[in-house]
């Protein structure tokens, strides 16, 4: 699997100049080079690099690092990858800028995916009108294997992303119905005629809610909040797009 390292400009320059580095000051202090998985990288950026621009995101294949890579408990007891030797340029699969957009770092989609809304996105949603019906376009790509948290009963049960999403659908159906929501269209993805060739979707549907109030009631419902763990385990990336229904006619516009 790919693991990730964030470097400041000076640390990246040192690696470029020397071909190897013992890491950042925190790495020198701890005696190993800190890495993060894709699931951990956003938290690492928020905790240790908040508000910093000019960063570089580095990717390495964990299996290629051999016995020098150890998985050890760190933040909240989760296992993090630690490299007990210098990091070499030859270890890297790629290195990309990690820009700061507003107050958050803009990770590549293959690292962060789009599973949950950012705070800024959720605030923008809530700032819109709440008293009219809304349609939510859902485009979903599943993980090959579901990624449940280590303390979840389904962790290690070898569920696919599709199976985890089915659990999400089953457990949230009563909540969706209770707030007056329904699925008004569902389709099977076939191909992308215009758009990135890499985009593919395993689920595509439109959910209609009587109001934004109803949607917010659903996502804050305790039963939904428990069930959304299945969604987070299931999804590699997704799009959730709010629309207001308009009158239809015989033309495109």
Q: What is the pLDDT of residue 3?
A: 93
- pLDDT value, residue 38: 85
Residue partners of 186: CB distance under 8 A and separation at least 6: 204, 205, 206
Q: Where in the chain is the domain with CATH 3.20.170.20?
A: 2-112
pLDDT, one tens digit per residue, over 142-168 is 999 998 887 899 999 999 999 999 999
Per-residue pLDDT tens for 173-194? 999 999 999 999 999 999 999 9
Whose CA is closest to 87, among 37, 18, 40? 18
pTM of the model: 0.69
CATH 3.90.700.10 fits 119-243, yes or no: no
Strand ranges for 126-181 from DSSP E = 134-142
Tokens standing for residue 138: 């859902």
77-131 tens-digit pLDDT: 889 999 999 999 999 999 999 999 888 898 887 787 788 888 888 999 999 999 9
The fold adopted by the segment(s) 2-112 is: ADP-ribosylation fold (3.20.170)
CA angle 73, 116, 167 (to 5 degrees): 85
Tell me which of 228 and 40 has the higher pLDDT: 228
The angle subtended at Cα 143 by Cα 47 and Cα 82, nearest 5°, is: 40
The ranges of the chain annotated as CATH 3.30.70.100 are 119-243
């Amino acid at each position: 699997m790919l693991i990730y390292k964030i470097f400041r400009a000076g640390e990246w320059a040192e690696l470029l100049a020397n071909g190897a580095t013992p890491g950042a000051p925190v790495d020198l202090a701890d005696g190993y080079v800190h890495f993060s998985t894709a699931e951990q990288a956003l938290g690492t950026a928020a905790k240790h690099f908040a508000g910093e621009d000019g960063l570089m995101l580095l990717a390495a294949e964990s299996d290629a690092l051999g016995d020098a890579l150890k998985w050890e408990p760190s933040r909240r007891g989760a296992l993090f990858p630690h490299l007990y030797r210098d990091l070499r340029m030859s270890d890297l699969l790629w290195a990309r800028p990690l820009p700061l957009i507003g107050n958050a770092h803009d990770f590549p989609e293959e690292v962060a995916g789009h599973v949950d809304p950012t705070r800024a996105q959720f605030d923008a949603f809530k700032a819109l009108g709440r008293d009219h019906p809304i349609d939510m376009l859902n485009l979903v790509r599943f993980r090959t294997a579901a990624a449940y948290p280590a303390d979840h009963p389904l962790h290690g049960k070898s569920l696919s992303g599709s199976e985890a999403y089915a659990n999400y659908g089953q457990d949230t159906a009563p909540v969706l119905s209770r707030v007056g929501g329904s699925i008004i269209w569902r389709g099977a993805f076939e191909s992308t005629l215009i758009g990135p060739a890499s985009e593919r979707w395993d689920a595509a549907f439109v959910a209609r809610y009587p109001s934004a109030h109803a949607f917010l009631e659903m996502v804050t419902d305790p039963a939904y909040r428990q069930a959304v763990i299945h969604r987070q385990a299931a999804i590699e990336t997704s799009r959730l797009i709010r629309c207001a229904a308009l009158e239809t006619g015989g033309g495109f516009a």
